[in-house]
Structure 1
Amino acid sequence: MTAAVLAAALATGGWLVAHGARDHAPPPQPSRAEAFPAPGEPLLAPGRGERLVPPLPAAPPTRVRIPAIQVDAPLMPLGLLPDRTLAGPPEGDKNLAGWYAGGTPPGSAGTAVVAGHVDTDSGPAVFYNLGALKKGHEVEVARADGRTAVFVIDAIEVYARADFPSAKVYGASRRAEIRLITCGGGFSQEAGAYLGNVVVYAHLAGVRRPPQIAQRAGPGG
């Protein structure tokens, strides 16, 4: 699926803005200091002195880990609903996230999308603390090929539902990038739903390989 079609299909985060908060403290929201310096900043470019890590061959992800907020969750493939919005993980498992299987696998060249609930009827869920992350924190994605793709966070932003920047969030990238998405932006008791989304932007900064792969693989393998 092309970036343009993906952006249209996932225009507002779909299910992510349809589920409401429950009887617990509101999830943390990212501060302005964790956003991009300018609201209209384009897709990410390698920073000065940044070590470029070659993208990996495609392989399905199996698990996402975010040490800074104690996330360690399995990943399931997600597709699109009939209305072309992103299907979500079932709410019965609070420690479950999903990746958009019709797009880029995490670690490969392009923009991978990983989504998780902020809460469910029974309390906080897997991405409840996503808004507490900081620039420079790491996101680890274990893959079916045995490699672990290590991403470094570039920014965390929160968007109102009506102003969700689809092209910026889902747009194409030459390097390996990932977006983590959950509900945020405040909660409407009247509507019973969150008003927007929290989005984490990160780029591939390292790869960990099992010993047998590391022995036979070169720097880009």
Structure 2
Amino acid sequence: MLTAGAVALALCAGAWLINDGSTGSAPPQPGPSADTGTPSAGADPGGSRVPAAPPLPASPPVRMRIPAIKVDAPVTDVGLDDQDHLASPPMDNRNLVGWYRQGPTPGAAGNALTVGHVDNHSGPTVFYRLGLLRRGDTIEVVRRDRKTAVFTVDSVRLFPKDAVPTDLVYGPTDRAELHVITCGGTYDRKTGYQSNVVVFSHLTAAR
């Protein structure tokens, strides 16, 4: 079972700002237009008006595309480490998304959880620009069954890594949702990023 802070520990503890924290700028953070109000588990976190599409049968993801921030990356499955924290994709791969294989597949009913690094020692990685997403942007997930699940962003939130709301981020839902998570907030050279950026979205189409 995932616990509050599990994602933060997996993604933030070993991440360094560009050039090992000595130079460069922090990744973009969610702005005021990215979120409206405080969401509850299973509800549109941003009050999206885009109707939810019926859930799809289960099928593992193989690729994620986020046109607004030019993400086009393969997806690998990740599980839990020996401390029951969510494992992260390999740090040295700059263009790779992790999907939590013990949860729902993207497009199926429930909360599909995906994670990725914001940077590594070489520079920005797959989710460096995740904080720029806004309500209404789309996320496309290509699945093994060759269907593409299209999700619409409801909200983009920033949570302190020691206070991630477990029910909100990991809790069950009846509809098909996708949560995308990376590091964010201020950066401490000893402990890494202090927060997590979480994108909440729901299935709105399939093709």
Q: TM-score scaled by structure 1?
A: 0.85
Q: Between 52-61 and 119-128, report the one with greater CA deviation.
A: 52-61
Structure 1 residue 184, shift from structure 2 partner:
0.4
Secondary structure of 1:163 counterpart: coil
Larger radius of gyration: 1
Q: Which has the higher helix share?
A: 1
How far is 1:25 from its partner?
Answer: 1.7
Q: Secondary structure at the match of 1:104?
A: coil
Q: Is the 8 A contact 1:10 1:84 kept in 2?
A: no
Q: Distance in 1 between matches of 2:8 and 2:50?
A: 30
**1:136 matches 2:136:** yes
Q: Give the CA deviation at 1:31.
A: 1.1
Shift of 1:36: 3.4
**Contact preservation (8 Å) 1:9, 1:84:** no
Q: Which residue of 2 aligns with 1:17?
A: 12
Alignment partner, residue 186 of structure 1: 186
- 8 Å Cα contact 1:9/1:86 also seen in 2: no
Number of the residue aligned with 1:124: 124
SS in 2 for 1:13: helix
- Specify the SS of the correspondent of 2:167: helix
Describe how 1:1-221 pairs up with structure 2 within 5 A: 5-6=1-2, 8=3, 11-18=6-13, 19-23=15-19, 24-38=24-38, 41-45=39-43, 50-189=50-189, 191-208=190-207
Alpha-carbon deviation of 1:14? 2.9
CA distance in 2: counterparts of 1:50 and 1:26, whole angstroms? 32
Residues 4 and 164 in structure 2, CA contact (< 8 A), matched pair in contact too:
no
In the TM superposition, residue 13 of structure 1 has moved relative to its aligned partner by 3.2
CA displacement, residues 164-193 of structure 1 (integer Å, 9 cap, x when unaligned) = 11111111100000100000011012x240
Deviation, 1:45, is: 3.0
Compared with structure 1, are the counterparts of its residues 67 and 50 closer, same or farther at alpha carbon in structure 2 (3 Å cutoff)?
Answer: closer
Aligned length: 200
Aligned identity (percent) is 44
CA displacement, residues 2-58 of structure 1 (integer Å, 9 cap, x when unaligned): xxx34x2864533112122123221000013312313xx312436686433110100
Kindly tell me: are residues 56 and 26 of structure 1, through their superposed partners in 2, closer, same or farther at Cα, counting changes over 3 Å? same
User: For the structure 1 residues 60 and 12, does the alpha-carbon distance in structure 2 shift closer, same or farther, using more than 3 Å as the test?
Assistant: closer
Which amino acid is the alignment partner of residue 140 of structure 1? Answer: E
- 1:51 & 1:176 partners in 2: Cα distance? 12
Q: Where does residue 213 of structure 1 map in the other structure?
A: none
The residue type paired with residue 200 of structure 1 is V
Aligned 8 A contact 1:73 1:95 in 2: yes
Q: Deviations over 1:103-125 (max 9, x none)?
A: 11100000001100000000000
Structure 2, gaps ≥5 residues long: none
Question: In structure 1, how many angstroms separate the alpha carbons of the residues matched to 2:93 and 2:48?
Answer: 41
Alpha-carbon shift at residue 162 of structure 1 (Å): 1.9
